[in-house]
Amino acid sequence: MITKCKRLKNVGKFYDFSAQANALDWHKNTFVFAPNAYGKSTLVNVLRSLRENDPKLIRARKTLGALAAPEAVIVIDEANHYFNGTRWDRPFPSIQIFDVPFIHANILAHEIGHEHKKNIHRIIIGAQGIKLAEELAALKTKEKSKSQEVANFASQFNRGGFTFSMDAFLAIPPAEEAAVGARIQKLEQDIKSKESEAVVQRLGLPRQIAAPSFDLSTAKALAAKKLAAAHEAAEKQVLAHIERNFMDKTQARPFIRQGLDLVQADCPFCGQDLKKAADLLKAYREFFDEAFRAYQQGVAQQVAALAKWNLDNDLTALGSTHNANLATLRQWEPYLGPIILPDAAATVEKCRAVLAELKGKVQSEMEKKQKDPNADADRSQFNALTTELGELKTAVEAYNTVVTAFTEKAKRYVANLPKSDVASIRAALAKEQQIKTRFAPEWKKWATDYPPAKKDADDFLNQKNVKQKELEDYSKTIFDTYQKRINEILFGLRADYKITGLVSRVDNKANEAYSDFSFLILDREVPLSVRQDDAPCFKNTLSEGDKSTLAFAFFVASLEREPDLDKQIVIFDDPLSSLDENRRLGTVGWLADLSPRLNQFCVFTHKKDFLRMLFDHIREKVVLQIKSDKTNGSRIEPFDVEEDRKAEIARLFDDMGRYINEDYGPTPEDMQGKIRKVFEIILKTKYYPALTTEIKCKKGLGDLIGTLHGKKLIGDATKDQLFHLGRLSDTAHHGGLAKLPEHTLTREEVCSAIQETFGVAEKV
């Protein structure tokens, strides 16, 4: 809902207008009064520009002589819609406007041409029909475009030379992209293998290599021993003997050694026979001599074994076997593909010098022990050599694992050589190569783009057919329904004609839809146009008021078909400028009925009598006016209808006096209504303080008379006269005064009532 016209600057006669006060807020029903040329149509044009988001409509109304660009701020639903001289920051399309441009665009004041017929057709089918037609046209365009796109895809596929159907081609699963290469490689290999099967059968296999080895545990143990350890057992026996027989145990060992060197048969100290001690001495000598000999023999054997171990030859043999294996694998590569074998030769060369050096050091340590059993050996050299040999052995084992795996692979290859012929394998290869092509960038894109394009084309075709049927069904009833509604509105507007034969036609040359109809006037059909200038038609039969009434009927009928009528802001700009009072009253009735169904209802008018009709018939309204002066330009201000109405009594008296003297057009019923207006104005004006509550509550004439009589402000006779005249001039639903059948007066009776009205008015 429009809340306020907040700012208009350099727009027409609005030089620099800003609305600040709440009194200028617009309500659900807002009426704007302004004399012609004050800016009423300019303001409507600003709202049309906002609706259509067309900045030209404002720029064309730029204030003459102004240097700065036009500005406008319209507040709708508490949001500012700002025009900065170039464009609106946000449009608001839910505005419907009935004004002279609408009439000229649809029901031209002079005649209805082909463009008007097309516009009328758009009005008749309404927003829903236009939307259906536009949606159908859009679907046709999309369906045609997508169908052509699908045809291009099919042509591209056919040029690809595939043996697959498009569905089968698209059904190839994504996993094939990774898998197909291996299958192609295998088939290509199968062809090669099949073509050279006899050669493959004669190919040899690689051999495993052996790592150099030497058991250093014995040598390391001998290197760790000394001579003293060789007679450890004998020493235990001697110490036990000393413990039993020697007082000075510290001198026992030198004594025994010297004694053994000197002894012959008897003890040199006591002369006793040594036969009893001979077993002990013999065991000692034998054990000592045997252990020593065994130790020396073991050291000698290890020295000899180390000298005999040709480590360099072992390493050279290992490298030679590796090189032979490489030659064998190269023969297999055409069939099994590239084969990676650990570089055993490089490994050998890397450790050859280290192993030779460590072997030499170990041999040197053993030779040193051979010369001196009690010498301390550097056992770290033994550990280092053992570690180095272990690392080489690990590398060899890894190498042999690869050799074993390859051997198994080669054996399987031979066992699995294809049984089919080369031609069958080539056919299978061609199929796999097409699968591979499916995942080339060009065909990946094709397979990605084609399905949604095909789906869209099918969807658009289905949607087009559904929308075509929907539009056809809609159009079957819309014209009859619309013609009926137009005629109902025309009748309510008190028009003396109606339309007939409303149909939809198509201009085959332009392929454009338009509407055609005729008028029924005095039971005679009058066409929109004729060839003869003197024949009756729209151009020469309908008055300007008739044409405006017809335009209004078309507008209201189309407006009622808006699916979101309750969201629309509807603006009427002088809708009744060429209508007589009789039709203006009928129009007010239609507007009063329409107003509650709208989001907002706004009327711009320069006719005060029409403004007052609206004011009296429509509740919840605010009335504004546009004032203007040469210095400040136009501005919007509040307008007090009740205050302004006080001057209306003079016009009413003039009209009634003229009616008595001449029959200038109004019906008796019209003049009866003016009698009621006279007394409403007089009573509201004279007794305003006493009738404040009734006036604010929009009470009718009967309630006003009753209140004044109750407050003893008028007497019984005056009350009776007022009630009598009120009943003659009021309807059954207004003001609590029942209208009786005898109150339908002739002109002479009305003239008499007017004379009585003048007399009562003087008393009141």
Of the listed ranges 7-16, 344-353, 649-658, the least confidently predicted one is 649-658
| Its pTM surpasses 0.85 | no
Q: Write the pLDDT tens digit of every residue in 417-444.
A: 766 677 888 888 888 888 888 888 998 8
Task: Categorize the per-residue pLDDT at 228 as very low, low, confident or very high, splitting at 50, 70 and 90.
Answer: low
495 within 8 A of 549, measured Cβ to Cβ = yes
| Cα Rg of the chain (Å, integer) | 61
Q: What pLDDT shows up at residue 231? A: 56
Of the listed ranges 20-29, 193-202, 303-312, 563-572, the least confidently predicted one is 193-202
559 within 8 A of 96, measured Cβ to Cβ = yes
Q: Is 271 exposed, middle or buried (0-12, 13-18, 19+ CB in 10 A)?
A: exposed
Q: Give me the residue label for tokens 């990946």.
A: 444
Q: Measuring CA to CA, which residue among 683, 569, 666, 571 is closest to residue 609? A: 666
Q: What pLDDT shows up at residue 539? A: 66
Q: Indicate left, alpha or beta for 337 from its phi (over 0: left) and psi (-120 to 50: alpha).
A: left
* Sign of CA pseudo-dihedral 634, 638, 644, 645: positive
Angle, to 10 degrees, between the axis of helix 275-308 and the axis of helix 344-371? Answer: 150
599 within 8 A of 569, measured Cβ to Cβ = yes
Whether pLDDT at 303 is above 80: yes
30 within 8 A of 602, measured Cβ to Cβ = yes
Q: Give me the residue label for tokens 């509740």.
A: 619
SS3 assignment, position 601: strand
What count of other Cβ atoms lies within 10 Å of the Cβ of residue 56? 9
Q: What pLDDT shows up at residue 507? A: 65
Average pLDDT over the chain, rounded to an integer: 82
Alpha carbon 427 to its chain's center: 48
What's the distance, Cα to Cα, between the start and end of the chain in Å? 44
CB-based contacts of 416, cutoff 8 Å, min separation 6: none
688 within 8 A of 696, measured Cβ to Cβ = no
* Sign of CA pseudo-dihedral 95, 97, 101, 103: positive
**H runs (alpha helix) in 19-91:** 40-52, 56-59
Structure tokens given for 319: 């490298």
What's the rounded Cα separation, in Å, for the pair 20 and 8?
12
Whether pLDDT at 580 is above 70: no
Whether pLDDT at 71 is above 70: yes
Q: What pLDDT shows up at residue 7? A: 94
Top mean pLDDT of 71-85, 461-475, 496-510, 545-559 is at: 71-85
Task: Categorize the per-residue pLDDT at 654 as very low, low, confident or very high, splitting at 50, 70 and 90.
Answer: confident
Q: Give me the residue label for tokens 């002369």.
A: 271
423 within 8 A of 194, measured Cβ to Cβ = no
* Sign of CA pseudo-dihedral 666, 671, 677, 681: positive
Task: Categorize the per-residue pLDDT at 209 as very low, low, confident or very high, splitting at 50, 70 and 90.
Answer: very high
